[in-house]
A = this chain, B = another copy of it.
Amino acid sequence: MAHRIAVIAGDGIGTEVMPEGIRALEAAAKRFNIDLEFTTFEFGSCDYYLEHGQMMPDDWFEQLKDFDALFYGAVGWPEKVPDHISLWGSLLQFRRRFDQYINLRPCKLMPGIQSPLAGRKPGDIDFYVVRENTEGEYSSIGGKMFEGTEREIVIQETVMSRTGVDRVLKYAFDLAQTRPRKKLTSATKSNGISITMPYWDERVLEMAKQYPDISVDKFHIDILTANFVLHPDWFDVVVGSNLFGDILSDLGPACTGTIGIAPSANINPEGKFPSLFEPVHGSAPDIAGKGIANPIGQIWSGAMMLEHLGYKEAADAMVTAIENVLSEGDSQVVTRDVGGQGTTESLGRAIADTI
Contact = CB atoms under 8 A, between A and B. Distances in A.
B195 A142 contact: yes
Contacts of A144: 195, 199
Contacts of A119: 118
A119 B115 CA distance: 11
Contacts of A194: 84, 88, 138, 140, 156
A249 interface: yes
B222 A249 contact: yes
A26 B159 CA distance: 49
Q: How many of these chains are in the complex?
A: 2
A243 interface: yes
A229 B243 contact: no
Interface string A135-151: 00110101110000111
B191 A83 contact: yes
A153 interface: yes
Interface string A181-211: 0000000011111111111000000000000
A138 B197 CA distance: 11
Contacts of A196: 142, 154-156
B84 A259 contact: no
B250 A92 contact: no
Q: Describe A's contact surface by its main secondary structure.
A: mixed
B230 A259 contact: yes
Given A254-B225, A254-B230, A195 B155 contact: yes
A145 to B, nearest CB: 10
A229 to B, nearest CB: 5
Nearest to A154: B199
Contacts of A178: none
A221 B314 CA distance: 35
A33 interface: no
Contact of A158 (B155, B162, B199, B221): B155
A193 to B, nearest CB: 6
12 contacts: A115-B118, A117-B118, A117-B229, A142-B196, A152-B161, A154-B199, A156-B193, A192-B242, A221-B247, A226-B253, A226-B254, A230-B259
